[in-house]
């Protein structure tokens, strides 16, 4: 970083002329102590009465000497951290907060298509995408639906009372089937994710918002992009925006997929 600004403070102390220079380089900073004359000058930098750095100039002869220290750092919860240090780490959620070499707080964790195993290790989540007549399963294989029926997209022996169905209908063209809606079958109840963000529980219409609503073990929420259904029991999420459905499988559910998402 280039120098943004500097401040100089000149103070006579006994037999010395002390010059204190503060330099700002954006997110980084430095402190320089100059002493002209003879004697010892020591200066401490403190935060909340905690000594962070110490500068000392000891002139035995009547001559100029100086000392410079990097005072860059990050503040987090009232504590100062040096660049290159770990501020906070939680392996259970794979979250790390560090003070970077340029003295900025940086948070890292699992990517959008990853999940945390709970031991600081991120694993790639299994994803199944259905758009129009096309199904891309968790292995990356592509298939196309030709007729207008309801197909099983996802099921797993780990949860026998849970099933995701894709309902294909003709829409813009009569010779091509398109994904029209998605049904989650949970404990004998059907949750329908329909066009226009409509959601039905059996024969009743649900009113959803960005705040999740628990319905038969499924967390339902809705925003301007679409509707999301999350089954926290097995870390499964289903998103539908009226055209595309995306099923993200995290944890053990991703290893035992049946239906079109498992290419079966």
Question: How many structural domains is the chain composed of?
Answer: 3
Length of the chain: 264
Q: pLDDT band at residue 264, thresholds of 50, 70 and 90?
A: low
Residues 174-196, buried b or exposed e (16+ Cβ, 10 A)?
A: eeebbbbbbbbebeeeebbbbee
Reading the block at residue 65, the tokens are: 């000497």
* Tokens 């860059």, located at residue: 72
In this structure, the answer to whether residues 147 and 196 fall within a common structural domain is: yes
List pLDDT tens digits, range 195-232. Answer: 999 999 998 999 989 899 999 989 999 999 999 999 87
Q: What is the pLDDT of residues 83-131, one digit of tens each?
A: 999 999 999 989 999 999 999 999 998 876 677 878 888 877 788 999 9
Residues 160 and 237 in one domain: yes
**Cβ neighbours of residue 64 closer than 8 Å, sequence gap 6 or more:** 34, 35, 36
For 95-116, b/e burial (b = at least 16 CB within 10 A) is ebbbbeeebeeeeeebeeeebb
Q: What is the CATH number of the domain that holds 174?
A: 3.40.1000
Q: Are residues 111 and 15 in the same domain?
A: no
Grade residue 1 by pLDDT with cuts at 50, 70 and 90: confident
Question: 206 and 254 share a domain?
Answer: yes
Query: How far apart are alpha carbons 146 and 134 in whole angstroms?
Result: 9
SS3 92: coil
**Total-model pTM:** 0.57
66 with 94, same domain: the answer is no
pLDDT band at 190, cuts 50/70/90? very high
Percentage of residues of the chain with pLDDT beyond 90: 40
Instruction: Clarify whether residues 17 and 87 are in a common domain.
Output: no
pLDDT at 252: 57
- The pLDDT > 70 percentage for the chain reads 93
Rounded distance, CA 215 to CA 65, Å? 73
Which of 70, 95, 114 terminates a domain? The answer is: 70
Is 56 found in the same domain as 35?
yes
pLDDT confidence tier of residue 5, bands split at 50, 70 and 90? very high
Q: What is the pLDDT of residue 249?
A: 84
* Residue span of the structural domain in which 116 resides: 74-122
Please check whether residues 113 and 194 belong to one and the same domain: no
Q: Based on the domain organization, do 203 and 241 belong to the same domain?
A: yes
The DSSP line for 26-74 is TTEEEEEEEEEEEEEEEEEEEETTEEEEEEEEEEEEEEEEEEEEE---E
Of residues 258 and 65, more confidently modeled: 258
Please report which confidence band the pLDDT of residue 51 belongs to, taking 50, 70 and 90 as the band edges: confident
Are residues 239 and 228 in contact, defined by beta-carbon separation less than 8 angstroms?
yes
Average pLDDT, the chain: 86
Is residue 145 domain-shared with residue 117, that is, in the same domain?
no
215 and 160 in a common domain = yes
152 and 100 within one domain: no
Please report which confidence band the pLDDT of residue 139 belongs to, taking 50, 70 and 90 as the band edges: confident
Residues 35-44 have pLDDT tens digits of: 887 777 787 8
CA angle (10, 16, 20) in 5-degree steps: 30
């Amino acid at each position: 970083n280039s120098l943004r600004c500097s401040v100089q403070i000149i103070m006579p102390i006994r037999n010395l002329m002390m010059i204190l220079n503060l330099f700002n380089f954006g997110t980084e900073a430095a402190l320089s102590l100059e002493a002209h004359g003879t004697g010892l000058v020591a200066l401490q930098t403190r935060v909340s009465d905690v000594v962070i750095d110490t500068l000392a100039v000891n002139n035995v002869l009547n001559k100029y000497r100086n000392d410079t220290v990097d005072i860059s750092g990050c503040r987090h919860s009232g504590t100062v951290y040096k660049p290159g240090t770990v501020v906070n780490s939680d392996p259970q959620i794979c979250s790390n907060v560090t003070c970077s070499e340029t003295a900025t707080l940086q948070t890292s964790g699992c990517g959008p298509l990853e999940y945390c195993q709970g031991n600081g290790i991120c694993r790639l989540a299994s994803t199944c995408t259905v758009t129009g007549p096309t199904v891309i399963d968790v292995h990356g294989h592509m298939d196309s639906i030709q007729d207008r029926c309801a197909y099983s997209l996802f099921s797993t022996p780990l949860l026998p009372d849970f099933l995701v169905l894709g309902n294909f209908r003709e829409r813009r063209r009569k010779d091509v089937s398109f994904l029209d809606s998605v049904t989650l079958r949970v404990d004998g109840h059907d949750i329908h994710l329909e066009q226009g963000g409509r959601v039905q529980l059996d024969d009743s219409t649900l009113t959803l918002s960005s705040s999740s609503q628990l319905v038969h073990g499924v967390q339902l929420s809705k925003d301007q992009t679409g509707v999301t259904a999350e089954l926290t029991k097995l870390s499964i999420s289903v998103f539908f925006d009226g055209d595309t459905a995306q099923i993200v499988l995290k944890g053990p559910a991703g290893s035992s997929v049946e239906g079109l998402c498992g290419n079966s």
